[in-house]
Structure 1
Amino acid sequence: MPQLRLGVSLQPRWPVDDGRAVLRAAVHAEELGFDHVAVGNRLLDSGFGLDTDPFVLLSAVAGATTRLRLLTSVLVAPHYPALLLANQASTLDVVSGGRLVLGVGTGWNPDEFAAAGVPVRERGSRTDDHLAAAQALWTHRPADFEGRHTTLRGARLGVPPVTPGGPPVWVGGHSDVALRRALRFGAGWYGSGVDAATVTGVRRRLGELAEGAQDAGRLTLASMVFLVPPGVPALIQPPGRPAGGSSPSAASIVDDLGRLAEAGLSAVTLWLPVAAEHVEKATEWIAAEVAPQLA
């Protein structure tokens, strides 16, 4: 079985009166050997867990850990002006010692776009514009850029990234537009709730869409996967089939994750729809019963 790196999402609804609980969970994940932790991006209450700015929370996680990779899963790129996106990502790349992986998407929630003053119909063009401008700022000092939404003239980013070329970008989405975006801007593709057949189809389609010097084989394939360990109550219904099915066991979870690895995934973020007080038990079970079989 190809090696599959496991990460864990920091999405449970953590108690507001104990803000360090999420940091303790991240430190515990590092101690248990997980590859990364992930934080989503919501401006308004989603009902699914922690709804914070991922740059802010992952900066705190960076200070509390030493090895874990830090994944935005996913950052809604159109909500961040290009210069702000480039500078905040570069800052986190520097303070974490190059541990940031910038998972990005176009977003979907019209209420958030309206509240942010960003036309939802422009989310695709703004994502492309902001990524292109950010990469210009990460790779050139000074940077010139002329895009549909961003213009730069001799711009020197305040904090150049420590990672050459800037933090790796994983582009989310299953459409041809998203896959072309991954080929153009990404070091990886990032899915959500996928099965092995979907991963196989994405690999095939990336190869078909690649043009010229683009090489689909260079992309890391990763995905978020729902998981509710046996014996741990789910706080909410997962918005997709969980790993291992409706009555999961270590064997059924390993089988599902193994199929994803065989199909081409190299990293999985486990999204645990459980209460904050059960996260420690859930991650310890995964580290003991699942991770050794995937090594």
Structure 2
Amino acid sequence: MKLGLALPTFGPDAHPEGILTVCRTAEETGYDSLWTGDRVLAPLVPGAPYPSGDGQMPRAYENHMDPLVALTFAASHTTRVHLGTSTLNGLWQPPLMLARSLTTLDLLSRGRLTVGLGLGWMPDEYTAVSVPWKGRGARLDETLQVLREYWANDVFSHEGPLFTIPETVVGLKPCRRPGPPLLLAAFTPRGLRRIGRRLDGWLPVALPLPRLLGMWDVVLKEAAEADRDPSALRMALRVNPELTDVRTDAARMPWAGTLGQYVDYARAAAEAGVHELFVDFGQTPATLSERVDLAGRFIEGVRRG
């Protein structure tokens, strides 16, 4: 199983030295990937509760970087690790502009990009970027279609319910053909079906493994029913640890526990067939130096197992 780290693109460590420090940590300690998230708004009173914990949006989100710009910066200071978005809200800009940005980043990183898409949870952000909250699934489907067409063709045009793109030459091509892998963060039956039938993989957040694997089985079944190869799909699992000083009851994992418990969870995930697991120590109140220490102890514990 591959292991990754979240870049500090939220909170007090979201600055050049913070990103450089985590980049160096990842490359020197053997991590396989670096990941960024996406926010455009931190409303004083969000229009919807945060979808985990006590429903309160993490204060770290009040300070947020552009995920693709941050990954481009990370790409220029790394040579080995892969770069992913967890998650990029793919509906906040026209799909043609998104295709250009993703292609550019994949090219500049020499093919190290994985695109993890999501629909977000907060209607306020859609209001702020003048994109309707209603109809997100249909907008995502058409966005995926544009991305695939852009990457696959030297000349293409698109006429859809939401977007019209006149016929154009596409000279810019990503390193990996036909394009970087497209993963989706989704948990509803419709979302899991979309992953199995249209995406390259799943981008879930940590859950008890039996529940997680049950949902993964749904994805694989949908892929098989669509005459796709289920073995070609991959799962990249995000872990947002809430670290405690003493071991928690098993029922609280993976939502809260000691570093050792999260190491055990990662080992169990590897044994269960999870392809990649990445951890965001920025969800803890740790300082940057403590974050680096936690990353070193975590990978050492998982690899030793």
TM (norm. structure 2) is 0.84
Distance 1:158 1:195, change over 3 A: farther
1:14 to 12, 15, 29: 12
List aligned pairs for 1:1-295, cutoff 5 A: 4-11=1-8, 13-15=11-13, 18-45=15-42, 47-49=59-61, 51-157=64-170, 159-210=172-223, 211-227=225-241, 243=254, 246-250=256-260, 252-272=261-281, 273-274=283-284, 275-277=286-288, 278-293=290-305
Q: Deviations over 1:229-268 (max 9, x none)?
A: 6769xxxxxxx9554x744253x33332222223331101
Q: Which amino acid aligns with 2:33?
A: H
Distance 1:124 1:288, change over 3 A: same
Q: Following the alignment from structure 1 to structure 2, what is the Cα–Cα distance between the partners of residues 203 and 97?
A: 30
Q: Following the alignment from structure 2 to structure 1, what is the Cα–Cα distance between the partners of residues 259 and 39?
A: 32
Q: Following the alignment from structure 1 to structure 2, what is the Cα–Cα distance between the partners of residues 182 and 247?
A: 30
Shift of 1:177: 1.7
Shift of 1:151: 2.1
**Residues 229, 285 of structure 1: 8 Å contact kept:** no
Aligned length: 280
**Residues 183, 203 of structure 2: 8 Å contact kept:** yes
Q: Following the alignment from structure 1 to structure 2, what is the Cα–Cα distance between the partners of residues 139 and 214?
A: 18
| Identity percentage of aligned residues | 29
Distance 1:147 1:120, change over 3 A: same
Distance 1:154 1:276, change over 3 A: farther
Q: Structure 2: give runs of 5+ residues left out of the alignment.
A: 43-56
Q: Which amino acid aligns with 1:261?
A: A
**Residues 243, 256 of structure 2: 8 Å contact kept:** no
Q: Deviations over 1:104-135 (max 9, x none)?
A: 01122111000000000122111111111011
**Residues 104, 169 of structure 1: 8 Å contact kept:** yes
Q: Structure 1: give runs of 5+ residues left out of the alignment.
A: 233-239
- Partner residue, 1:235: none
Local SS of the residue matching 2:237: strand
Q: Following the alignment from structure 1 to structure 2, what is the Cα–Cα distance between the partners of residues 10 and 282?
A: 14
Distance 1:156 1:20, change over 3 A: farther
Q: Which amino acid aligns with 1:271?
A: D
Local SS of the residue matching 1:177: helix
Judge which range, 86-95 or 40-49, deviates more: 40-49
Judge which range, 121-130 or 48-57, deviates more: 48-57
Q: Following the alignment from structure 1 to structure 2, what is the Cα–Cα distance between the partners of residues 76 and 246?
A: 27
**Residues 266, 302 of structure 2: 8 Å contact kept:** no
Shift of 1:187: 1.4
Distance 1:116 1:242, change over 3 A: farther
Distance 1:216 1:292, change over 3 A: same
